[in-house]
Amino acid sequence: MLGLTGANLLLMDYRGYGTSSPAKPSAATTAADACAGLRHLTEERGIPLSQIWICGRSIGSTIAVRLAVEYPDCAGLILISPLTNTVDVWPFGTALRPLRWLGLAKAFDSRARITGLRLPVLIVTGTRDTVGTPAMAAELHRRAAGPKRLELVEGAGHNTICQIARERIPQLITDMMSGQDVPTAKPTS
């Protein structure tokens, strides 16, 4: 789907996900893997940060926000079905709440990290998403300080957003990457 934008893509399996390795994933390893991918693009491929858009979906959105904060000279940030924090995900949030009280929820805290982020941000979520809820997306949108757009995909859930909006998401990304002025929070079908 993202290939429909005409952009070149670097897709990664974080350690412990997909077929990458049998290691257990952690906030530290996923952040290190994301940084390694970005370094590959800039140092080995010679691509300037100003031409790189960081994209993350679901829990990957927390890693994308973290990377964007660490590399604020990137072109922009795209979040699909984003999470404010892993401890906010129902029903897991209740069980994970002690992590927040102990200060251990910081590793995946997009809510705190996105505040003050000045690069362009596109946030896309489904109106029926019960994991990365529309409320989470709206909160991240509200906290981002730069040019931003929130797009709600009518009827899409967490795992159906790419099928339901398969043509719309690439168009939104293309519009955002081209710097077109687009309205905020307009529901789509």
CATH number at residue 59: 3.40.50.1820
10 in any annotated domain: no
The closest of 128, 129, 9, 17 to 63, measured between CA atoms, is: 17
Q: Please, what is the end-to-end C-alpha distance for the chain in angstroms?
A: 17
Whole-number average pLDDT of the chain? 83
Q: Is pLDDT above 90 for 87?
A: no
Q: What is the pLDDT of residue 186?
A: 44
124 in any annotated domain: yes
108 in any annotated domain: yes
187 in any annotated domain: no
Q: Is pLDDT above 60 for 35?
A: yes
Share of the chain above pLDDT 70, in %: 81
Higher pLDDT, 12 or 154: 154
Q: Is pLDDT above 60 for 89?
A: yes
Q: Is pLDDT above 60 for 142?
A: yes
Distance of CA 57 to the CA centre of its chain: 5
Higher pLDDT, 189 or 179: 179
In this prediction, residues 13-22 reach a mean pLDDT of: 73
Strand order in the sheet with 121-126: 53-57, 76-80, 121-126, 148-153
Structure tokens at 56: 């993350």
DSSP string covering the chain, please?
-GGGGT------PPTTSTTS-SSPP-HHHHHHHHHHHHHIIIIIS---GGG-EEEEETHHHHHHHHHHHH-TTSSEEEEES--S-GGGSTTHHHHHHHHHHTTTTGGG-HHHHHTT--S-EEEEEETT-SSS-HHHHHHHHHH--SSEEEEEETT--TTTHHHHTTTHHHHHHHHHHHT----SS--B-
Q: What is the pLDDT of residue 3?
A: 54
43 in any annotated domain: no
Taking the C-alpha atoms of residue 119 and residue 56, their distance in angstroms, rounded to an integer, is 15
Distance of CA 146 to the CA centre of its chain: 15
The residue type found at 47 is I
pTM of the model: 0.84
CB 136: neighbour CB atoms within 10 A? 24
133 in any annotated domain: yes
93 in any annotated domain: yes
The closest of 33, 76, 80 to 59, measured between CA atoms, is: 80
Q: How many distinct structural domains can be found in the chain? A: 1
14 in any annotated domain: no
What is the chain's length? 189
Q: Is pLDDT above 50 for 86?
A: yes
Q: Where in the sequence is the domain holding 102, given as residue range(s)? A: 49-178
